[in-house]
Amino acid sequence: MPDLSYGPKTYRKQGGDVFVVAAGGQILVEPGGSVMGGNPTGAADYFVDLNVSATGDGSMGAPFATISEAITASNTSIGLTANRWWARRNRIWVMGDGIDEDLTVLPEKCDIIGVGSDLVPYPRVIGHHTIAAAKVGCRIINMGFQLDGTGVGLTIPAGCHGFQILGGMLQPAAAGNTVGVQITDSALVRIQGFEIYQNPAAYGTGICAVGIAIAGTASNHQTVIDSCYINATEGIDVVASAPAYDSRISNCFIHAVVLTIDDNSDQFCIINNRLITDADIDSDPKTGIDCKNEYAVGNIITGSGTEGQCDTWPHTLIA
């Protein structure tokens, strides 16, 4: 129990956690409660620890054992007429180190936030994640993904508008994966500060054929891929039929076998990227990049041709 010397206290319960606030404003916590201070939107917080021996109720003192349980609870609460939380945001706090789980549902209007520790300062979930239905406004923050199988690692279907990946990393399986992250017909998408590596135990084979793929025929407008590191056979691929108006790929570091960026839609602005291709670009730097020239500015590309040389894309005009 809290130290009674703090004087009069008020008690507040939210999302399964009991918060005790002392008269002077200091937050005290009942056993099993949360030190987070509560969700600032007034919605719910759920806690997941992938190492617990038995699942709990999602509070900090008794966390869920799987992310899927937290997603189910969040989607139920955010949609309740009694709650009227449709403009608020839930949060799911995830801890764990290398635990298997395949996600099939995203949480609506909710953040999945990686905390705690693995080898890196966030959890890494082993699996592949094929999302079956559209959910809007989901953000994945500071999460690691270790892929299994050989297919797409994270499949985001049509209608997942506002989907974001902020920070964290993805590592393919030892046999490689066809795509790291594939997003179809979803607008207002942002992938920022995300890193896609080769598998450190299987360099050369443990690689994504495509790091990030933008697919579909509609609603990919205002997609932003910014400040990412990608090591893949092909870094970023945009399908020709994707109308990705007002979209950009900017400030990324990409190492690819041939094409670093392949924008078949000719709609992305390609800005200030640093690109490395294993292909020989001496005769034509477009061996390593395919985009609409008028929409590109400030990119530098190096290849396997003459040692010590690189090229700008588009070419810099010297009067």
The whole-number pLDDT of residue 98 equals 82
The whole-number pLDDT of residue 235 equals 98
How confident is residue 19, by pLDDT bands cut at 50, 70 and 90? very low
CA dist., res. 261 & res. 269, Å (int) = 11
- The torsion angle over the Cα atoms of residues 246, 250, 256 and 262, rounded to 10 degrees, is 20
How confident is residue 209, by pLDDT bands cut at 50, 70 and 90? very high
Mean pLDDT calculated for residue range 122-141: 96
228 or 303, higher pLDDT: 228
Of 1-15, 118-132, 207-221, give the lowest mean pLDDT range. Answer: 1-15
**Tens of pLDDT, residues 274-297:** 999 999 887 777 789 999 999 999
Dihedral sign (CA 116, 196, 201, 150): positive
Mean pLDDT calculated for residue range 37-44: 85
**Tens of pLDDT, residues 59-113:** 999 999 999 999 999 999 999 999 899 899 999 999 998 889 999 999 999 999 9
Share of the chain above pLDDT 90, in %: 73
Model confidence at 26: pLDDT above 50: no
CA dist., res. 191 & res. 268, Å (int) = 14
How confident is residue 319, by pLDDT bands cut at 50, 70 and 90? low
Mean pLDDT calculated for residue range 202-227: 95
How confident is residue 11, by pLDDT bands cut at 50, 70 and 90? very low
Q: What is the CB neighbour count within 10 angstroms for residue 35? A: 10
Q: What residue spans of the chain are helical by DSSP H?
A: 67-78
Model confidence at 4: pLDDT above 50: no
The whole-number pLDDT of residue 192 equals 98
End-to-end CA distance of the chain: 76
The whole-number pLDDT of residue 37 equals 64
CA dist., res. 119 & res. 111, Å (int) = 22
User: 238 - beta bridge partners?
Assistant: 214, 263
Q: For all residues of the chain together, what is the average pLDDT?
A: 88
Model confidence at 2: pLDDT above 60: no
Q: What is the CB neighbour count within 10 angstroms for residue 76? A: 11
Of 1-15, 128-142, 169-183, give the lowest mean pLDDT range. Answer: 1-15
